[in-house]
Amino acid sequence: MTLNRPPRVHPARPRRIWPLLMAALVFAGWPATALAHGVAAGDKGFILESSGVLLVPFAYLGAKHMVTGYDHLLFLFGVIFFLYRLRDVGLYVTLFAVGHSTTLLAGVLLGVHVNPYMIDAIIGLSVVYKALDNLGAFSRWFGVAPDARAATLGFGFAHGLGLATKILDFQISPDGLVANLVAFNVGVEIGQLTALAAILIAMGYWRRTHSFHRHAYAANVVLMTAGFVLMGYQLAGFFLLSLS
């Protein structure tokens, strides 16, 4: 129960240097926070310094994390790639949201510490999966594709666990925790819808071009490449920094 631990005291080190130290470390891409996309030093400093219910700030942080989180966005991009009807977009995005909200809340409240490198590698894997699914590779190779809805929900769980790990890493105050978490989660959904709107508009224009289906194949191969890069990046971090 990480969160119920009394606040750490550093008698020999004034508390004021922490934000500075964090700034320096995060600026250098501090891999101990294992962020596929670093949350800015200022945000981490803010969370360390604050306690109590802060709904709008936490909603903002959630939205920012999603809009600037390229791993979540790549997956989302893959999921809606061939979804043409708004009803389907709504269904899949809801499944993803239900998945990551569940593990975000449960992960933080139960203090589930998963290795941040491993969870980010799984998020990379989710991008590879979606690219292969879009290419029709599973049905071609195995005769049957995994249920896309179940996979979206399942990888939603993984993405939420990634979010939870990052929040736990911030050593968020137990004071006002639940309200702040819910606010963060609402922010994540707002950020997701904002990003989704932008992706859908761009896709809408792209789909109207005659070359879309030709480019769609190449685009999903590039998406798969990006997923493999994410996996390699995080697995290397796991072996270098978590096992040593």
Partner 1 sequence: MTDAHPGANPAPHPTSRQLLRSSVIAVAGAILILATVVLPAEYGIDPTGAGRALGLTRMGEIKLRLAREAVADAAADEAAAKEEETAEPVAAPR
List contacts with partner 1 (CB under 8 A).
5-6, 8-13, 25, 28-32, 79-85, 88, 92, 131-137, 139-141, 143-145, 147-149, 213, 216-217, 221-222, 224-229, 231-233, 236-237, 240-241, 244
Length of the chain: 244
Contact 127, 76 (CB under 8 A): no
Minimum distance, C-beta of residue 102 to partner 1, in the bound complex (Å):
22
Structure tokens at 114: 């998963």
Minimum distance, C-beta of residue 59 to partner 1, in the bound complex (Å):
29
Minimum distance, C-beta of residue 219 to partner 1, in the bound complex (Å):
11
- Strand ranges, E, within the chain: none
> Is the Cβ of residue 59 or residue 167 nearer to partner 1 in the bound state?
167
Residue 234's closest CA among 139, 141, 126? 126
Alpha-carbon span 169 to 96, nearest angstrom: 23
Place of tokens 């989660």: 185
> Is the Cβ of residue 105 or residue 128 nearer to partner 1 in the bound state?
128
> Is the Cβ of residue 62 or residue 124 nearer to partner 1 in the bound state?
124
Minimum distance, C-beta of residue 40 to partner 1, in the bound complex (Å):
17
Contact 91, 79 (CB under 8 A): no
